[in-house]
Amino acid sequence: MKISEKVHALKIPFLIHVTPEKSINSFVNVFLITGKKIYLIDAGVKGSYNTIFNYLSKIGRNKNEI
């Protein structure tokens, strides 16, 4: 989600496994600041990179700019 011209926020859901039978839904916020380069604030949880890289592609940017 674009917050401003150069600030983007991604809400990335994940599960916290409490017991084999019980999990809790949670999420982390990842922030991207775009300009000549891209600054990543809080990379999220394991596996977040797919969501981040897909978002960057959607806005016409490349993961190598981070």
List of long-range contacts for 23-30, beta carbons under 8 Å, 24+ apart: none
Query: How far apart are alpha carbons 14 and 3 in whole angstroms?
Result: 22
Contacts of 16 (CB under 8 A, 6+ apart): 23, 24, 26
Number of folded domains in the chain?
Answer: 1
pLDDT of 32 reads 96
Domain that holds residue 29: 7-65
Reference 66, options 30, 29, 32, 39; nearest CA is 39
Residue 43 maps to a domain: yes
pLDDT of 42 reads 83
Residue 49 maps to a domain: yes
Residue 14 maps to a domain: yes
Residue 25 maps to a domain: yes
Residue 2 maps to a domain: no
Residue 54 maps to a domain: yes
Residue 1 maps to a domain: no
pLDDT for 15-50, tens place per residue?
999 999 999 999 999 999 999 999 999 877 888 999
| Centroid of chain to Cα 34 | 14
pLDDT of 45 reads 85
